[in-house]
Amino acid sequence: MILHTIDTGYFKLDGGAMFGVVPKSIWNKLNPADANNLCTWALRCLLIEDGNRLILVDTGIGNKQDDKFFSHYYLHGEHLLNDSLQAKGFSSNDITDVFLTHLHFDHCGGAIIRQEGKLLPAFPNAVYWSNSSHWEWATNPNEREKASFLKENILPIQESGRLQMLQVGGGDKGGAVSRLTEIPFAEGFSIRVVNGHTNSMMLPQLIYNGKTIVFMADLLPSAAHLPIPYVMAYDMFPLTSLSEKKVFLEEALAGDYVLFFEHDPIHECCSLQKTEKGIRVKEFFKLKDL
């Protein structure tokens, strides 16, 4: 197995929403806001070479929405998904599997492209992976979350005939992280299901060069979210997120896990240590340095 970081640019979100009940006087030191109270966040994906499979975890926002949509999110940066793939020696045609942690627009928008007026898979030779519990949640969204689930990002996947559902079960109702589930197409690739941010979000957990690496998606969008109370206002079930974070961080500390951040604007990965304030970053590094 070989892992690659795939950068797809940056976007901006409201700092208060990203840090929930944490006062701006605190979170602004972690990720300073602009004059509009917006903070910059990465759209970082993961590419996995595994034998004859090339697995892309999440796809960023993409570029098919209109100017009004992008005016809310200020997509910027030098990196685009296809350019980042080409920099690693691959093209969209080479991707065999697209693993979608969840179907919020900033995680799956790049999965579908608009071409000659049609909405088509961006990776024409790939199988797209979700799970039935989350798919049902996303395609019949509640009023609070529906703005994050865009039909043009989701329904064309199913219509293409390339959608497959992983049998992962659900998260524990008590808010603890569910048991890991092995998936068939990659040795050393497990999934943990969490439910605080959205229903049945999947976190890939990989064994790589003797280390356990967890793709954090929106359980821990950045290193700044390590403190247990730092839970996003975007989370559907914040108390569940809090519980899931606590359980996961204790396990990650004990197992010396590496955390891979999808949204941290600066840091790709970190290790953990126990401090007087709780579990915090021990060391930052890039995935390529493992």
pLDDT at 120 over 70: yes
Q: In one letter, which amino acid is 160?
A: S
- Distance separating alpha carbons of residues 98 and 48, to the nearest angstrom: 10
Which residue is associated with the tokens 């108390």?
Answer: 239
The answer to whether 215 touches 265, Cβ cutoff 8 Å, is no
Q: What are the tokens at 171?
A: 């998260």
Q: Is pLDDT larger for residue 290 or for residue 25? A: 25
* Cβ-contact 182, 189 below 8 angstroms: yes
User: Three-state DSSP class for 48?
Assistant: strand
pLDDT surpasses 90 at 28: yes
Question: Could you tell me if 75 and 10 are in contact, meaning their C-beta atoms sit under 8 angstroms apart?
Answer: yes
Q: What tokens appear for 113 in the block?
A: 């492209």
Yes or no: say if 1 and 49 are a contact pair by the CB < 8 Å rule: yes
CATH number (domain holding residue 214): 3.60.15.10
DSSP secondary structure, 83-104, as one string: HHHHHTT--GGG--EEE-S--S
* Contact status, residue 232 vs residue 63, Cβ threshold 8 Å: no
**pLDDT tier at 188, thresholds 50, 70, 90:** confident
Position 182 scores a pLDDT of 59
Structural domain including 8 reads: 2-289
pLDDT at site 253: 97
Query: Tokens 């950045």 sit at which residue?
Result: 222
Q: What is the value of pTM for the model shown?
A: 0.93
Kindly report which listed range (3-7, 62-66, 135-139) carries the lowest average pLDDT score.
62-66
How far is CA 230 from each of CA 1, 105, 234, 245, 279, rounded to the nearest angstrom?
33, 22, 12, 10, 13
Q: Which two tokens stand for residue 266?
A: 């600066």
In this predicted structure, what is the pLDDT of residue 175? 46
Residue 88 CB coordination number (10 Å): 15
Q: Using pLDDT thresholds of 50, 70 and 90, give the confidence band for residue 8.
A: very high
Q: How many domains does the chain have?
A: 1
* pLDDT over 90, % of the chain: 83
Q: What pLDDT, on the 0 to 100 scale, is given for residue 142?
A: 93
Segment 136-143 shows an average pLDDT of: 94
Residue 31 has pLDDT above 70, yes or no: yes
Distance CA(85)–CA(157), nearest Å, equals: 21
pLDDT of residue 183: 67
The DSSP call for residue 277 is: T
Say whether pLDDT at 53 is over 70: yes
Torsion, Cα 89 94 100 103, to 10 degrees, reads 100
